[in-house]
Amino acid sequence: MNKKQQSLPTLLAAALALAFVSVSAQAVVTDADIANDATTPNDVLTAGLGQQAQRYSPIAQINAKNVGDLVPVWSFSFGGEKQRGQESQPVIANGKMFVTASYSRIYALDTQTGKKLWKYEHRLPDGILPCCDVVNRGAALYDNLVIFETLDAQLIALNQDTGKVVWKEKMADYQAGYSATAAPLIVKGMVLTGVSGGEFGIVGKVEARDARTGKLVWTRPTVEGHMGYRRDGDKMVENGISGETNKTWPGDTWKTGGAATWNNFTYNPQTNLIYAGTGNPAPWNSHLRPGDNLFSSSTLAIDADSGKIVWHYQTTPHDGWDFDGVNEFVTYTTKDAKLLGGKADRNGFFFVLDARNGKLQNAFPFVNKITWATGIDLKTGRPNYVDENRPGNPAEAKTGKEVFSAPSFLGGKNQMPMAYSRKTGLFYVPANEWGMDIHNEPVSYKKGSAFLGAGFNIKPLNDDYIGALRAVDPATGKIVWEYKNYAPLWGGVLATGGGLVFTGTPEGFLKAFDDKTGKELWKFQTGSGIVAPPITWTENGEQYVAVVSGWGGAVPLWGGEVAKRVHYLEQGGSVWVFKLHKKI
């Protein structure tokens, strides 16, 4: 055989090898893929459809004119024994959907057929202490890994193709009240996570780990007085105290200060800042911890490389109502090229901040009734408190003065993510109108026990509705339109280039609205309440919409009179996928 004949199989082998490398390279999720997630239509790689979590897709195949032709393609059940609240946003890559479910489960499904490719069910120990149902809000994708958090505060990375464990890391001690429910965020090859457990006197934190190995890169506590750490070679070294010990926390109160980081984070590459919301200070009884209690009920801007707090903005200083500040901080660019961030806070006010330095630009109510403050001082950035509407000091008595407060501690908005449309410049906010009777009680810290020091009863404010989807102009504070819903809204929102806004209701409907007028254009009954955010993507030239269905979460557990009002709603656990019934 001559050299020319010998070279042919060699060339073929080389070509096949290159093709294999090319396919393999396309099969993994890269940092560039994640950075471009908001603009690439054929996948959904992050919670929020992009690191900024605008929850906006430019896809316009499904639009206001044809959305009435949307029909289900397939549905997949998570199983009948472990239902409860289903708050997960699916992620999509390479023809696979990865979706988490209650009780720390995760499924890989074929996006075209709904066929189960694999299932991983984390073995939970006895004695876990989740405050607000056994929920999970989704997974993160990186390389050939799918990464998610568990109710016993572990972080697990699985092989996307097989579901086998690649690495597993303990985030915190579940016996002390720590848990984890959020979707991790990937930033520059790191997986960013937080912790739940503010009702048990834990200490919140933001952690960055190498996404491929799980090895800790840095950790930043979110209660003032605690030390941060960063990796230096094979060891972790001190990286500065968060704030200043005892500056805003008296005595030893900072040691059990709460400020849990239990919801999803965001990131903006222009600032290289991770935006993390923090929860309530512990205990709820504010008279036991005089001061602002940094960094609770705040937005923290953390440098992605160093793990240091660059700026903070506290939405409810000295919180006495459980107005967690964990709601997502969504960055956006204005027509005059300003980089701002919007946040619809639990306390009922919508805040607009400079994303680079945290300076307040605007603040206004997005709910109709607020009793704890008359407004936000735009010069100081602080609330104008109504002192008599703070729950009273129990001192030596069994209870302090009871007050009526609106919104309730479940918030003007809670975990359900809003959407920002780059097309209309509006935020679409799932809001709730409710209040509560609340009083304070004496309490002391005990590891693994509830650390509240308060009693409460949540009440509806209106006979005809609790939930309200509102289109909000962040520049003026104007409510452009609203849709009222009888039950509370607890699912997230999706806005699209087709002029549509999608959201789900506890009554079980996935609905589509006109993004400019709020007119309801389409709805579909999924069989159980929706408390999760919808997504959209394209595949084989067609646009798909998906949402997880399954009633539960904090409302039926903590909702008082509200829970009684919606007791008829059925639990479930499934994911639904839709497309137009014919090609355009």
Give the residue numbers annotated as catalytic, written as ranges: 322
> Which token pair is 536?
């959209």
CB 434 within 8 A of CB 562: yes
Name residue 42's amino acid.
Answer: N
Q: Which one, of 194, 189, 191, lies nearest residue 171 by Cα?
A: 194
Cβ atoms 524, 540 nearer than 8 A: no
Asked whether the beta carbons of 90 and 48 are under 8 A apart, the reply is no
The DSSP code sequence of 305-320 is TT--EEEEEESSTT-S
The length of the chain, given as a count of residues = 584
Contact 102, 572 (CB under 8 A): no
Half-sphere exposure in the Cβ direction for 474 (13 Å, CA): 32
- 186 vs 400: CA distance, rounded Å: 45
Give the DSSP per-residue string, 363-402. Answer: EEESSS---SEEEE-TTT--EEE-GGGSPPP-TTSSS---
CA–CA gap between residue 278 and residue 298 (Å, rounded): 5
The residue assigned the tokens 């935006």 is: 275
Q: Residue 55's Cα: distance from chain center in Å?
A: 11
Q: Say which residues have a Cβ less than 8 Å from residue 191's Cβ, sequence separation at least 6.
A: 140, 142, 147, 155, 184, 185, 208, 209, 210, 211, 214
**What is the DSSP-derived secondary structure letter of residue 196?**
B
Q: Are residues 436 and 560 in contact, defined by beta-carbon separation less than 8 angstroms?
A: yes
201 is written with which tokens? 């006197």
Asked whether 136 and 181 are in contact (CB, 8 A), the reply is yes
